[in-house]
A and B are shown apart, each in its own frame.
Chain A
């Protein structure tokens, strides 16, 4: 159970001359929820984006150090398409494609070459079911996804990630645009999904980290100030800065 899914070693990241991440070392365990918390600009979103090489899209980004996924270097040994399939991402604002609910989910599998209608039907149904959205949309799969509520759209985006059978799901503030009820539903969903997936979640809401994660990393000024079990971080943190942040005294 305690296998390393992702191992980051001495990671430094620069936007041009500005160093955004300093000497990051972290091990992310399989089938656990790891939460990344910290004040704005601390590097947590930059960090999560390195895990499936989203920062490749930004020209001025320079990276040194290593990131291994399943014990293979994600820059040197993993094919980018394959990596992004295995390590999926859910963003802050729900971003369904302007097409039907069904086509949103089927988009990824189709891109990966699945054409059989039956197979696609199964994938769509399973993914929606895993994202606990199926019951709400099963009668309108061919209606536009943009007609769903914000919370439903976000669960659709999660279903869309699950449809390509990932191994790791990265979530960058997945509930910050949602109301409290939708947020609770997503949190319950994360608790359910961790039985099958490894989850890394960036959250501005440290209470959310407390509620849903197994491990918590507190980022500050581009460094990991403290990383440990969420029980320990929220009950007895080692660093006084961590304590001040989780107590709401700064940030």
Chain B
């Protein structure tokens, strides 16, 4: 193998993006735990720890930029680095949605939820699974896997629509439930957006492997 140092740098970048992916996945699943259990301490911890994820994004951005500046990558390697820079932005945004959920948890802590939490945790579970597979697809440059994952986002979108319909019904029946209903609607919306960001990641994985911009 020649240019060993360069290969090592690319491998390190992949590892660091995986670490960031794991951290973001954890933030999402903990935020839903906090929401389910009305655990404001855990919610506050998620809010505080978001700075770690923000820093990971900035460090990874510099890491990519330095590899570009020093190694002059071309073709597939260049696409991989550009995709990396785009993907870490989506990861950071997903983590922001975990923070939004944590903030909502704190806000709703003293109230009874207007309906049992079933679908939102399911959406979160699905987003997390999509997220971890999407990061693997990036590291392994597997466009085929990215296409499959992106399709799963349709399920999340449908779940969101269904939750909205259901919450609207509750709110129409009893206007006192409007505030609580709106809060839960936001929670669902945050998860739906997280799914969209995973879909974006998948689009960058496809670009990485093929050089084509696909609308998945």
CA of A155 to CA of B144, assembled, Å: 44
Give residues of chain B (1-36) contacting chain A, Cβ–Cβ below 8 Å.
2-6
For the complex formed, measure the closest distance between the CB of A165 and the CB atoms of chain B, giving whole angstroms: 25
Q: Is A77 an interface residue (CB 8 A)?
A: no
B70 engages A234 (CB within 8 Å): yes
By the criterion CB–CB under 8 Å, are B69 and A184 in contact? Answer: no
Q: Is the CB of B4 within 8 A of A231?
A: no
A residues within 8 A CB of B62?
A: 235
Q: With A and B bound together, what is the CA distance between A102 and B74 in angstroms?
A: 40
Contact B2 A184 (CB under 8 A): yes
A235 touches B3 (CB 8 A): no
- B65 lies within 8 A of chain A by Cβ: yes
Interface residue count on the A side (C-beta < 8 Å): 14
Candidates B2, B65, B69, B72; contact of A188 at CB < 8 Å: B2
Interface size of B by Cβ–Cβ distance < 8 Å?
12
Say whether B65 contacts A235, CB under 8 Å: yes
B69 touches A234 (CB 8 A): yes
- Which of B2, B3, B5, B70 lies in contact with A230, CB distance below 8 A? B70
- Structural contact, B4 and A191, CB atoms closer than 8 A: yes
Q: Please judge, given known A-B contacts A188-B3, A211-B6, whether A235 and B69 are in contact too, CB under 8 Å.
A: yes
By the criterion CB–CB under 8 Å, are B5 and A188 in contact?
Answer: yes
| B66 at interface by CB-CB < 8 Å | yes
Taken together as a complex, chains A and B put the C-alpha atoms of A97 and B72 apart, in Å, by 36
B210 at the interface (CB under 8 A from A): no
Interface residues of A (CB under 8 A from B): 181, 184-185, 187-188, 191, 207, 210-212, 230-231, 234-235
Further pairs besides A207-B72, A235-B62: 12, Cβ < 8 Å = A187-B3, A187-B5, A188-B3, A210-B70, A210-B72, A211-B5, A212-B5, A231-B66, A231-B69, A231-B70, A234-B66, A234-B70
A-B contact pairs, 13 of them (CB 8 A): A184-B3, A185-B2, A187-B3, A188-B2, A188-B3, A188-B4, A191-B4, A210-B69, A210-B70, A234-B66, A234-B69, A235-B62, A235-B66
Closest 10 CB pairs of A and B: A210-B70, A184-B2, A234-B69, A191-B5, A235-B69, A188-B4, A207-B72, A184-B3, A234-B70, A231-B66
